[in-house]
Structure 1
Amino acid sequence: MRPNRLNPLFAAATSLKGIGPKLDKVLAKLLRPGAPANAEARILDLLFHLPSGLIDRRERPRLDQLPEKGIVTVEVTVGKHRPPPPHLKRLPYRVECFDDTGTLTLVFFHAFADHLQRMLPPGETRFISGAVDWFQGSPQIAHPDHIVSHEEFARLPLIEPVYPLTAGLSPRILGRAIRASLEKIPSLPEWQDESWLKRKGWGDFSTSLRKLHQPATHDDLNLLTPERLRLAFDELLANQLALSLVRKHMKRKAGRKLAGTGDVRTRIVSALPYSLTSSQQTSLAEILRDMAAPERMLRLLQGDVGSGKTVVALLALATAIETGTQGALMVPTEILARQHFATLTPLCDKAGLRLALLTGREKGRARDELLAALAASEIDILVGTHALFQEGVEFRDLGLVVIDEQHRFGVHQRLALQAKAQNADLLVMTATPIPRTLALTVYGDMDVSKLTEKPAGRQPVDTRVLPSERMDEVIEGLHRLLASGGRAYWICPLVEESELVDLAAAEDRAKALAAAFPGRTGLIHGRMKGSEKDAAMARFKSGDITLLVSTTVVEVGVDVPEATVMVIENAERFGLAQLHQLRGRVGRGSGKSTCLLLYQGKLGETAKARLTIMRETEDGFRIAEEDLRLRGAGEMLGTRQAGLPVFRVADIVEHADLLAAARDDAGLILARDPKLETPRGEALRSLLYLFERDDAVRLISAG
């Protein structure tokens, strides 16, 4: 289905001279980080790999004017070659060069003498370009970037773009591959509105892309150059167009009116130990209005930590059950599934709702009986992990699917769920407040409801930032807390992207704390079996252990109102959203709660800003905006997590205003040309393929 004119861009990088299978593996790892292990690098990947800096070789000093450091290009006469002695091969090969003002030594390690003799014949003039360094008061250039004769000098690139690299890839090879890729850009039809391009002063796609790879000054690398803005808008428009097509596709499938009687809802509300906050009531009203409408509901419920999303979701599910249908609540981890099941059971019992739990752990006869009851409509609400949508799990009549998302399910997974759920309504919950710009790129296909208050009775958390040298005081304070019957969490440092290293750190800390608090310390980490995690959680909840040590790979998604202290070790290594999530585990009861952020060493600017914000505010939405500003979108949500679209050119922070324009434009395009059949529509199909949002193209013709 891809237009033929785009085929050159999707050709393998191995079609370029000098790129073999071995180099292709290295390129694919660098250019396609989320792709399957056997994925090839393509011309397109090289073209969207933009420069991060430039080397200016125009500096042409005489040898007596060489700077302390920096890149220079010098014209010299080649002098004496000084190879290392035969028995000391590890010493470098040196070549002396000179002009009429001074001398310069070229240094080569592991060199081939005959190659250097050919490249640097004594007595000949050569232009040498590279980074100058000084050794014992004399200037030298180790492994020059370029060595050229007078005739070749005209072809020496005096300004060279610098690209992000990876182990096993040299700047020269990558630069050559990208230059060869630029020659493969085909002639493409214009998909942007001509008057909009004129107003913005932007050129066409191909010219803009070429110019981005040929910066003449550092200003050309700015994210706000006309060329970068043009391509960023292209990418954001592809994203918004795809999301709008997903939404249209989902909405086009017949929904059903789910307007309940309100009886079951009333029973749940009267069983709650508190009254609903005004934002819970507003969000619930929006959800119920969507459910009662004939189109399918596609709604995102955004709430801060502890803002009461689960109760709102339960009231929505109760409405589906009142209309005679069933409900599903899907969560990303088994711990959370069991926690939701435990939290909802007493409320469901009082309201007369039949609740069941299905995770990967339910097996054999118990699983078969549960599935039979589900198919016979003897279960009202099924709680579980993605096991809910595996083969063989059949609902009698599914009316509402609630996904507790936490950025784990992207648009593709939502589509797959929708297919399974036929014409069910969809409510997605996220516990991480998301900045508006990011919400548009991840959830642009959905309507949004926000919970902005904490339920009545929740206490503010006193957040303190301490150097780790004061750890003895922290442990002393814990002695007082645990002696008085209190409970605490201790989160171990994020060592690196490795569960094993994190685990070792956690086990060491758990041992040290177990020695300080014998018989009262438990440990939980991502490599434990589900049953072991549950047992540790249950002991903490019951008060059998009072200090829970945990790694970050585990969602400490447990509601233990008695826990009033959260210690986070090496807090400077955590993202803001993560710190905020962890802090939200305390302050859930009526007791005064504290969060201690321990940091090590001297704090960098970003870490200091992060910890300052944590001390200043508990407002998750403000924290999310700051996190986005400090770290950018990819790092903020974790580029490996499925929900986040990977942007190659656009920057969500710098190009936020373009996102709103792209959203408006996408709406306008589809209102005028819903099947993208006009000349501009056809060109926009190319855009969707180019930025790999082609799933959306298939939806245009799908029923």
Structure 2
Amino acid sequence: MQNIPIHPLFAPLETLPGIEGRRKSLFQRLLGARVVDALLHLPSNIIQYRPIQSILQAESGENIIIEVDILSHTPSIQRTKPYKIMCTDGRHTFEIIYFNAVKPYLQKLYPVGARKIIIGKVDRYLSQAKIAHPDAVLDTANAQHLITHEVIYPLTTGVTNKCVQRAINQALSRIPNFPDWLDEAHVKQHGWPSWREAILAVHAPKTTIDLSLQSKFRQRLAFDEFLSHQLGLQLARQHQVRTLPGLTQKGGGQLVQKLLSALPFELTDAQKHVVHEIFEDMALPHPMSRLIQGDVGSGKTVVALIAMLKAIEAGNQAAMLAPTDILARQHAETIIDLVAQIGVRAAILTAREKGKAKTKILDQLASGEIDLIIGTHAIIQDKVEFKKLGLAVIDEQHRFGVEQRLQLSSKGYNPDVLAMTATPIPRTLQLANYGDMDVSIIAQKPAGRLPIQTKVINLDRLEEIVEGAKRALEEGAKIFWVCPLVKESEALDLSAAEDRFLHLQQIFETRVGLVHGQMKAQEKDAVMDHFINGNVDILIATTVIEVGVNVPAATIMIIEHAERFGLAQLHQLRGRIGRGDKPGTCILLYGKQLSQVGRKRLETMRETSDGFKIAEADLKLRGGGDVLGTRQSGMPGFKIADFVEHPEICSTLLSLANKEARRICKEDPLLETPKGQALAFLLKLFGRDEAMKYTRS
């Protein structure tokens, strides 16, 4: 690769013509910073122009090519009025229209008596045809330059399609001949072209099929994009395993055995299998990086606790990071007293711990007096120091960014990292987001978990729901009542938690409580305590109770405007009930305007309680970017692959790329062979340059 002139592709974008001065920032925002980024800015549409003999043959809105004679000009008196040019196709007359016209320019372009070829879109007003601002005007002598279609690119304000086309054509002219990074047999098997053939073809589409992943040219480029991504992840993982020293954590098993004896239940086979995988990882001399997936109620927390005790047995400390104060305190209530019985010192640290109490916790963490800490973002602050952190557990990990996860793991000497999520992740997202992590799945729920009945009901029947709530309370039930908003909004005709609280308070008086994200932590805790242990039997809430809240007595979940929630959110909310010895009922209330997607969501919830099936359905309905509820947790920003339009093709290509990346890392881990050097170029091409440092470590 050293002898191939690839440098022009990685030159700054402004080295292309027409990208300078004030327009530079506009082009950079649209295309990227490098010349190669312009190549990866693919067309989004194609306009076909149909040659016709007479203007009467054209439909309104159709793009046409027609030969005309110029008859006359009617200049506009004011610039805001249209400038009209009358012409004829030999049988019928029609007008060419310009706004904000420059008279001398148009008179030179359309001299009276001249014969011209006009290319543009026809508009009809009543029976009169017009062409406003033609796309092209040619002399008949230049008919050889006639365009029959125009490629359209995604644009931004201030940048025209012609300017983008000119820049991309220049970028295409800089592509050198270089060896393919894919084996010839691999390319032939899928009927793909070379990368150079593919990139030239996608910028010259002939039909709308050429604009989608149904085209072999786009498929080849999408596979290359996936391969660069997967190879980058695998190189990072390989580097971690090969070069980063970690803590070998074996322990004697005494604390784990004491915990298992104290538990009122036995672990499921699925839990035992995941515990075995974790213990094997922790015993290795490099850091563990493992993700536990488990549906709501599958018992992830107890598995994480066992792992933390294993780290403590080995003479180290453990930390659990939770996304919300409510969830952190719920974990603390369960864990602190339980581990105290077996001689483990645990504490909680959130933003609520202040003054002397906080100082004491920080001192005990630094000295090693605290074995296990549970907390929110407070435990990743700079002032927090551990004596010897051996294991970092991250609960509901999709709520945290990569930077926050790194902050926690940087508190120790390359500690083991165990991430958990109750939102089942489709295999496609696993490969895309967690290719550098080992994944364990707890697919089995503990024995005794009762089924939850799900009903879909129109919001018009609210009075019936309230009457049903009265009957349920008489039988000793506790009820979650979820609303999409905190306060009423003029822009949105949706239920607000505060309004519903006032409404139900008139009926149920002090038996109704309210919790939402804008309340102070102490206020939320007080209401939650009354709901769990006191006289509050109906909890009006927003999605602040989506994750981790455990109230065994709660058997009913009512969700207003359920069609406005994502499937993953609905599944999480439904998982808050049915945790005791009584079956649960989830009531999904929908509003008047129910979209097709909203209807499909509610049908899916009614048909299945399997979180993995729900996750796959959510991926199809909402696309990769939002399937886990937050942008950072969705699909990485792929330029060519389109999971929304072609989820099946993308899933297949991503799986192929994952398999190929693993093979490459096994056979050529430092990318030293000629093929490896070509792969290094691929990484650079798609901006995965950071992966290169792992090949030189």
State the alpha-carbon separation in 2 of the partners of residues 51 and 113 from structure 1: 34
Pick the aligned partner of 1:633 from 624, 635, 652.
624
Aligned to 1:224: 214
Question: Aligned partner of 1:126: which letter?
Answer: K
Structure 1 residue 619: Cα displacement:
0.3
Aligned to 2:232: 242
Task: State the SS of the aligned residue for 2:265.
Answer: coil
Question: Aligned partner of 1:607: which letter?
Answer: G
Task: Describe the shift of the 1:360–1:533 C-alpha distance in structure 2 as closer, same or farther (beyond 3 A).
Answer: same
When structure 1 is superposed on structure 2, of 224-233 and 13-22 the one drifting more is 13-22
Q: Deviations over 1:25-75 (max 9, x none)?
A: 4455555xxxxxxxx644333322222321111443521211244322222
2:8 is the alignment partner of 1:19? no
Q: Deviations over 1:197-221 (max 9, x none)?
A: 2333333223211211111112212
State the alpha-carbon separation in 2 of the partners of residues 656 and 3 from structure 1: 36
1:492 and 1:505 in contact (8 A); partners too: no
Task: State the SS of the aligned residue for 1:191.
Answer: coil
Pick the aligned partner of 1:564 from 545, 555, 570.
555
1:506 and 1:550 in contact (8 A); partners too: no
State the alpha-carbon separation in 2 of the partners of residues 6 and 552 from structure 1: 51
Aligned to 1:687: 682
Aligned to 1:369: 360
2:643 is the alignment partner of 1:648? no
Aligned to 1:489: 480
State the alpha-carbon separation in 1 of the partners of residues 578 and 203 from structure 2: 52
State the alpha-carbon separation in 1 of the partners of residues 693 and 258 from structure 2: 45
Aligned to 2:263: 272
2:341 is the alignment partner of 1:347? no
Aligned to 1:621: 612
State the alpha-carbon separation in 1 of the partners of residues 361 and 275 from structure 2: 30
Aligned to 1:36: none
Structure 1 residue 234: Cα displacement:
1.4
State the alpha-carbon separation in 1 of the partners of residues 98 and 118 from structure 2: 14
How many residue pairs end up in the alignment? 689
Q: Which runs of 5+ in 1 are unaligned?
A: 32-39
Task: Describe the shift of the 1:549–1:136 C-alpha distance in structure 2 as closer, same or farther (beyond 3 A).
Answer: farther
State the alpha-carbon separation in 1 of the partners of residues 552 and 695 from structure 2: 49
User: For 1:280-299, what aligned pairs fall within 5 Å after superposition?
Assistant: 280-299=271-290
Structure 1 residue 379: Cα displacement:
0.8
State the alpha-carbon separation in 1 of the partners of residues 588 and 570 from structure 2: 9
Structure 1 residue 140: Cα displacement:
2.6
State the alpha-carbon separation in 1 of the partners of residues 527 and 179 from structure 2: 61
2:88 is the alignment partner of 1:98? yes
Task: Describe the shift of the 1:75–1:501 C-alpha distance in structure 2 as closer, same or farther (beyond 3 A).
Answer: farther
User: For 1:284-363, what aligned pairs fall within 5 Å after superposition?
Assistant: 284-363=275-354
Aligned to 1:37: none
Task: Describe the shift of the 1:602–1:409 C-alpha distance in structure 2 as closer, same or farther (beyond 3 A).
Answer: closer
Aligned to 2:194: 204
Q: TM-score, normalised on structure 2?
A: 0.88
Pick the aligned partner of 2:420 from 408, 429, 453.
429
Aligned to 1:678: 673
Structure 1 residue 625: Cα displacement:
1.8
1:457 and 1:589 in contact (8 A); partners too: no
2:503 is the alignment partner of 1:515? yes
When structure 1 is superposed on structure 2, of 318-327 and 62-71 the one drifting more is 62-71
Task: State the SS of the aligned residue for 1:399.
Answer: strand
Structure 1 residue 302: Cα displacement:
0.6
Structure 1 residue 317: Cα displacement:
0.7
Structure 1 residue 427: Cα displacement:
1.4
User: For 1:125-144, what aligned pairs fall within 5 Å after superposition?
Assistant: 125-144=115-134
2:20 is the alignment partner of 1:53? no
2:187 and 2:193 in contact (8 A); partners too: yes
Task: State the SS of the aligned residue for 1:105.
Answer: strand
2:274 and 2:441 in contact (8 A); partners too: yes
2:456 is the alignment partner of 1:445? no
State the alpha-carbon separation in 2 of the partners of residues 520 and 79 from structure 1: 83
2:567 and 2:601 in contact (8 A); partners too: yes
When structure 1 is superposed on structure 2, of 591-600 and 106-115 the one drifting more is 106-115
1:506 and 1:551 in contact (8 A); partners too: no
Aligned to 2:65: 73
Task: Describe the shift of the 1:500–1:404 C-alpha distance in structure 2 as closer, same or farther (beyond 3 A).
Answer: farther
Q: Deviations over 1:123-152 (max 9, x none)?
A: 333333333232122223344333343355
Task: State the SS of the aligned residue for 1:610.
Answer: helix
Task: Describe the shift of the 1:167–1:568 C-alpha distance in structure 2 as closer, same or farther (beyond 3 A).
Answer: farther
State the alpha-carbon separation in 2 of the partners of residues 503 and 263 from structure 1: 59
Task: Describe the shift of the 1:351–1:620 C-alpha distance in structure 2 as closer, same or farther (beyond 3 A).
Answer: same
When structure 1 is superposed on structure 2, of 519-528 and 247-256 the one drifting more is 519-528
Task: Describe the shift of the 1:514–1:160 C-alpha distance in structure 2 as closer, same or farther (beyond 3 A).
Answer: same
Task: Describe the shift of the 1:100–1:236 C-alpha distance in structure 2 as closer, same or farther (beyond 3 A).
Answer: same
Report the RMSD for the aligned CA atoms in angstroms: 3.4
Q: TM-score, normalised on structure 1?
A: 0.88
1:267 and 1:350 in contact (8 A); partners too: no
State the alpha-carbon separation in 1 of the partners of residues 87 and 515 from structure 2: 64
Task: Describe the shift of the 1:620–1:21 C-alpha distance in structure 2 as closer, same or farther (beyond 3 A).
Answer: farther
State the alpha-carbon separation in 2 of the partners of residues 569 and 152 from structure 1: 65
User: For 1:534-613, what aligned pairs fall within 5 Å after superposition?
Assistant: 534-543=525-534, 545-552=536-543, 555-601=546-592, 603-613=594-604
Question: Aligned partner of 2:49: which letter?
Answer: R
State the alpha-carbon separation in 2 of the partners of residues 332 and 188 from structure 1: 48
Question: Aligned partner of 1:698: which letter?
Answer: K
Question: Aligned partner of 2:46: which letter?
Answer: L
Query: Aligned residues: percent identity?
Result: 46
Task: Describe the shift of the 1:556–1:56 C-alpha distance in structure 2 as closer, same or farther (beyond 3 A).
Answer: same
Structure 1 residue 567: Cα displacement:
3.0
State the alpha-carbon separation in 2 of the partners of residues 93 and 523 from structure 1: 64
2:385 is the alignment partner of 1:390? no
Q: Which runs of 5+ in 2 are unaligned?
A: none
1:491 and 1:567 in contact (8 A); partners too: yes
Task: Describe the shift of the 1:632–1:152 C-alpha distance in structure 2 as closer, same or farther (beyond 3 A).
Answer: farther
State the alpha-carbon separation in 1 of the partners of residues 332 and 491 from structure 2: 28
